[in-house]
Structure 1
Amino acid sequence: MSSIGPYTSIAGFTPSLARALQKSQDSLDDLSMQYASGKISQSYAGLGAGRSTSLAMRAALSSIASYQQTAATVTTRVNLMNASVTRLNDLAGEYATIDSGGFQLTSSGLTVAQSQAETDLTDAIAQLNNQVGGRYLFSGRSTTTKPVLTADQIMADSGSKSGLRTVIDQRKLADVGANGLGRINVSGVTGSTFNVTEQASGPFGFKISSLNSTLSNGVANGPTATPPSVTLGLTGQPTAGGQTKVGVQLPDGSAQTITLTAVAAYSTPPVSGEFLLGATPEDTATNMQTAFGDALGALGVAGNGGIQVSTSDDGLSFKVSEQASGDGGVKLTSANSTLDTGVATGPTAAIPPSITLGLTGQPLAGENVRVGLTLPDGSTEEIKLTAIAATSTSEPQAGEFRIGATQEETAQNMQAAFGASLRKLADTSLVAASAIQAGNEFFDSPAAGQGPGRVGGFDGTYATDADRVAALQNATSLDTSDTTDKTVAWYQGDNSSSDARKTAAATISDGVSVSYGAQANENGLRDVVKSLAVFSSMTFSSSDTNANERYAALTNRISSNLGSAETTKAIQTISADLSTTTTSIKSAGDRATAAKAMAEDTLSDVEDADKTEVAVKLSALQSQLEASYSIVAALKDLSLVNFL
């Protein structure tokens, strides 16, 4: 298309004609620019009424682009997180079906499966230490901190801090005990019976849980136990103002005192622990017992910490007893009274559970007695003793006892068989259960204000190593105070939120946010790391006759833990949460794509020029200008060529 050059003044033109020609020239320039750029104007002013729409649409497009960039970044992170969680879920599935019979040792003292577990532990840790752009994905809010130590750092001691292997070894000493019977004492035979008694071992070792017998002439009594208790009450009507105090230790280790005060009238407002002087000493004792129950409930311990209260026959006193198991409940620590007629005795010493086994006559071949035992990890085992005929030519196998010539001889055989079975169980299943429980205490997040559970006395000062071993073998408590600085912390990330997902969030659309944080110590993820670490920590010797069974006990527990519904659900929940985030991002992305297209269309309507329409206008204006110049030239007797 030919162009017309700028207008120049020619003598004789009237001002109005000059202005008209200049206006046409300006319009020609504007249309030429529209045709070349495809835009109606090079400035917002040139858009007229459309400039506000243009500004709004450009702001919308900028916001959409920002959201899309955020969504792309989060998608990259979440995709990698999902891949890591999937890998750990696969590992859990693999070890949930591990063969407990595959006892094939390598030169390192590990089985082939354990050696593979070492490799898989390193893989699992690497997955949890994944990062994108310097941001760790499984560290909660501490995105610049690598969340999990290396496998070697977890296993080994570091300065004054104990690693997993040391924690497991110490717990093993406490659980198996000095006699190698799992903190159980087996008496000699007296007459035709013997006693099996738990040591006062706190949370360590075997716990007798059941006793069943089919022996036609058998003795099978128990298990019986007497927990610590205090006795509170009166010998007569007390004087107002006197007090009885009971010291207790709550499950979290804190100490509290329950104070019971005799009053002639209740205070306003009521004061906890007050009990009203009744018409008789018996009425007063009843009120005192009620006040104790209310004050105990006010401590806020679930189920009152297992505390049991019973009234004496004379109605003047009541007995307060700890729960029979002795673990995890409220402990009685003291009792005293300033009441002039008060009774406050105890706490009495606990009498550990015990059973009595034996005979009143000769049993029949094939009859048996079964003793149930609970192990530190909560699993259960059973010792089954079966009588075999005196005439049997084969030697008694494990769990069998021969019927002797006399009832007393048979009882001796029964006691020996029980002791042998108990010792073997302690060296196999108990050692495995001990390692599992030590792993729980090492890896699981402790209660607020507490550290990892360690065997009481683990940090004591001893003259010899034998003294240290003896102290651990006779430990009666689990230490959770001041253990954090003495135990390797496998997880280094943020642990401040009860909801790991809320430790990272992003806005992906107007009013739409997603939460996608994660922590390596979450249930499920932690279980995989813990199980692989415990499994690969235990070594074996080919000369150890119990090694095969100990390995089977360990693998069965690892398989059970990783194949449990709890572990599976925990991992799947994390995966589902991340998948929900992905779905939300995709939905927001679809909405953003539609909104972007709409904004671009609206912006195009306002800013873009229709080149066909512009070309028509430009051609018409050129023709008009050419005609105008031709007329002017003719009037001035000038040629168009000269004019241009």
Structure 2
Amino acid sequence: MTTITPFAAGSYITNRNASQLLTLKNQLNDLSNQLSSGQVSQTYGGLGSGRSTALAAQATLSALNGYASGITAAQTRTNLAVTSLTQVASIGTSTASTLQNGLQSVAANSVSGRATALANLQTVLDTLNQSAAGNYLFGGTNTETQPVLDANTILNGSTDSTGQTLDGLTDVINERVSAQLGTQGNGRLTQSASTAIPIQVTEESNPGTRGNFGFTLGSTATATGALTASVSSTVPATLTVNLTSASAQPAPGDSISFSLVTPEGTSTTITLTAATSVVAGSNSTFAIGANSAETMKNLSDTLTKALTGAASSTLAVKATADAATQFFSGSVNGGPGGNGVIPQRVVYSGTNPVGYASPDPNTTVLWYQGENTYDTSKTPPEPTSAIDTQSVQVSATGTVGTGARANTPEIQNVLAGLATMAYALPTTNDASTYNTYQAVATKAGGLLASASQTPSVQDTVTQLTIASARLSNASTTNKATQNTVQNTLDGIEQASPEEVITKLLDVQNRLQASYQVTSTLSKLSLVNYIS
């Protein structure tokens, strides 16, 4: 008789027992793996209904780890930028204070003030090349290029790859000052010989030069006593100073006054007063001589000192400040037209400066090499926000700006103020020294005020400090979130050792009992049963 095995007598019970033993064996293996690995399962499929939650938690943790890495790097950059700009602000503020205090002893502080300002200028330039992990901090979006040239190149110029000489700050300032002062150092005025009677001072004859450089004469002049003074209505105008008669002599206190006008329209009044005795080198009083010719020569010599003194304390200082400001506006990249920003340079007709040249990048060192994007939708175009040039993702929806540029207007002003001090403070001690020093204190002090007065370098420090605080707060929030998500994930993926051991012992006992019963049943026969 043929027997179908699956339906043989007793086969069902045997198969069911084998299946139960196999199930217990699998449970024993799973529990052993859980005990050794500490994980509920080696696959997400083994987590059952918790698999979706575990997958979402893992994605969240991965994102949080990425945010933490970005925040750590950004905090390092931001804190270094804060330290660097704090130093820039401190240098600007302390230098301005030193400059003002120097008015108490001008002669002693001029030379040291120049040296200090130049050293501080070099320090600020070096500070603006700060980097973190190989990335420069003050180049905007461009973190790979050194944003600021070395101080020596900036000050003294260089030669480009084609052999073209590029003028540095020193040459740019000297050019502008020379154009304003002229060969006589008196604001491009022409004065008659010291023995000439009457004394005459004439404006620059070249109309292009006269409109842009040097002094022009105010429309009126006054005189008292035996002195006369008048300004012609012709162009170029002439100041004429004389005595009321060939034999007349001024009395002590008699004076002449006239004004000198700068190209910007501001005026400086010159007053020369007769006296019986005069301090050597005076530029405001002249000695009454033994005769009218000697008196007029003394007046002419004092007038020469007055004109050069006014030029050195008015034109030269302003020219230095303007040239420095122009120079530090320069940039290789960006600008309103996207082709960089070229400092303004003087253009000549023969030997006469007649205006300012069209921008030419092949003439001047461009000190700033970093990113310099402008918003051309505005009129006039404006630089884009420096702090937004770099940003870090701190959450799924949050970013924090951490960028900075070395050429923001506030930093440019501090650099220009230091340069004005370094190049315009008087180097000699004469009657014009105090006025020149005071002019520098006014001009440079106004520029250096950008270190602390709004808008200022300190404002940028505050922005970056707030950014650093936001990064810290985001880091704290992310860590708290990370702990919560990790606890949730652990609850799903991690197996409790105590629970696993209890289940493992239970399965072992059940499996052992099953084996014993099965073994006993396997030995059962009709003979054993009857006996």
TM-score (norm 1): 0.63
Shift of 1:557: 4.8
Tell me how far apart the structure 2 counterparts of residues 143 and 629 of structure 1 sit (CA, whole Å): 72
Deviations 1:225-278 (A, max 9, x none): 89xxxxxxxxxxxxxxxxxxxxxxxxxxxxxxxxxxxxxxxxxxxxxxxxxxxx
Q: The residue matched to 1:139 in structure 2 has which SS?
A: coil
Conservation of the 8 A alpha-carbon contact between 1:35 and 1:615: yes
Residue 525 (structure 1) aligned with residue 411 (structure 2): yes
2:320 to 424, 429, 435: 435
**1:606–1:632 Cα change, 3 Å:** same
Structure 1 residues 65 and 447: alpha-carbon distance in aligned structure 2, compared to 1, 3 A threshold? closer
Give the equivalent residue in structure 2 for 1:339.
none
**C-alpha displacement at 1:121, in angstroms?**
2.8
Among candidates 180, 184, 188, match of residue 183 of structure 1: 188
Change (3 A) 1:580 1:158: same
Query: Could you tell me how far 1:212 is from its partner in structure 2?
Result: 8.9
1:609 aligns with 2:495: yes
Matching residue's letter, 1:605: G
3-state SS, counterpart of residue 362 of structure 2: helix
* Alignment counterpart, residue 342 of structure 2, candidates 425, 436, 451: 451
Residues 624 and 197 of structure 1, relative CA distance in 2, 3 Å threshold? same
- In structure 2, what residue type is equivalent to 1:98? T
Equivalent-residue separation in structure 1 for 2:393 and 2:316 (angstroms): 51
Contact 1:193 1:219 in 2 (8 A): no
Aligned match for 1:422, one of 304, 307, 312: 307
- Equivalent residue for 2:462? 576
8 Å contact 2:346–2:356 — kept in the other structure?
Answer: yes
The one of 193, 205, 216 aligned to 2:214:
205
- SS of the residue 2:283 aligns to: coil
Q: Relative to structure 2, which stretch is displaced further, 445-454 or 189-198?
A: 189-198
The yes-or-no answer on 1:596 pairing with 2:507 is no
CA contact (8 A) 1:385 1:417 kept: no
Residue 364 of structure 2 aligns with an amino acid whose one-letter code is T
Displacement after TM superposition at 1:68 (Å):
1.2
2:175 to 163, 170, 179: 170
Unaligned 5+ segments in structure 1 are: 1-10, 227-350, 461-467, 639-644
Q: For residues 78 and 379 of structure 1, do their structure 2 counterparts lie closer, same or farther at Cα, with a shift above 3 Å needed?
A: farther
2:502 equivalent to 1:493: no
- Which structure has the highest strand share of the two? 1
* TM-score w.r.t. length of structure 2: 0.75
Mapped to 2, the partners of 1:547 and 1:190 lie a distance apart of: 25
Segment drifting more, 40-49 vs 179-188: 179-188
- The 8 Å contact of residues 185 and 308 in structure 2, kept in 1 or not, is answered as yes
Match of 1:322 in 2: none
Structure 2 residue aligned with 1:625: 511
- For residue 404 of structure 2, what is the amino acid of its counterpart? A
Listed one character per residue, the Cα deviations across residues 569-625 of structure 1 (whole Å, up to 9, x for unaligned) are 331232223223223322322332232122212212221223333333233333333
User: CA-to-partner distance for each residue in 1:531-559, whole Å, 9 max, x for gaps?
Assistant: 334544579867x8579558735752564
Matches within 5 A, 1:361-380: 371=258, 373=260
CA 1:573–1:546: 2 relative to 1, 3 Å: same
Output the amino acid matched with 1:561. Answer: G
Alpha-carbon distance in 1 for matches of 2:173, 2:496: 80
Q: Is the 8 A contact 2:129 2:138 kept in 1?
A: yes
Helix, strand or coil: the match of 1:452? coil
In structure 2, the CA distance between the partners of 1:540 and 1:74, relative to structure 1 (3 Å rule), is: same
- Note the C-alpha offset of 1:59: 0.7
More helix per residue: 2
Query: By how many angstroms is 1:57 displaced?
Result: 0.7
* In 2: Cα distance, 1:26 partner to 1:611 partner: 18
Tell me which amino acid in the other structure corresponds to 1:489.
Answer: L
Q: After superposition, where does 1:457-536 map in structure 2 within 5 Å?
A: 457=348, 471=351, 474-479=352-357, 481-497=358-374, 498-499=383-384, 500-536=386-422
What is the CA-CA distance between 1:125 and the residue it aligns to?
1.8
For residue 135 of structure 1, report the CA deviation from its aligned partner. Answer: 2.0
Structure 2: tracts of 5 or more residues without a match:
1-10, 160-164, 375-382, 525-531
Residue in 2 aligned with 1:346?
none
2:283/2:303 contact within 8 Å kept: no
> Which residue in 1 is equivalent to 2:29?
29
Task: Single out whichever of 67-76 and 199-208 deviates more from structure 2.
Answer: 199-208
Q: Shift in Å at residue 165 of structure 1? A: 1.9
**Alpha-carbon distance between aligned partners in 2 of 1:119 and 1:374, rounded to the nearest angstrom:** 34
The separation in 2 between residues aligned to 1:399 and 1:539, in whole angstroms, is 21
Q: CA 1:355–1:46 in structure 2 vs 1: closer, same or farther (change >3 Å)?
A: farther
Q: Look up the match of 1:564.
A: 449
Q: Deviations over 1:457-497 (max 9, x none)?
A: 2xx8xxxxxxx7xx1xx322122x15321112122222233
Contact 1:428-1:547 at 8 Å conserved across structures: yes
Q: Structure 1: how far apart are the matches of 2:107 and 2:509?
A: 100
Matched-pair contact (CA < 8 Å) for 1:368–1:384: no
Equivalent AA in structure 1 for residue 400 of structure 2:
V
Q: Contact 2:277 / 2:287 at 8 angstroms: preserved in 1? A: no
- Secondary structure class of the residue paired with 2:87: helix
Identity %: 28
Q: Does 1:84 align with 2:84?
A: yes
CA spacing shift, 1:56–1:212, aligned 2, 3 Å: farther
Do structure 1's residue 148 and structure 2's residue 144 form an aligned pair?
Answer: no
Kept in 1, the 8 Å contact 2:189–2:201? The answer is no
In structure 2, distance between residues paired with 1:136 and 1:97: 31
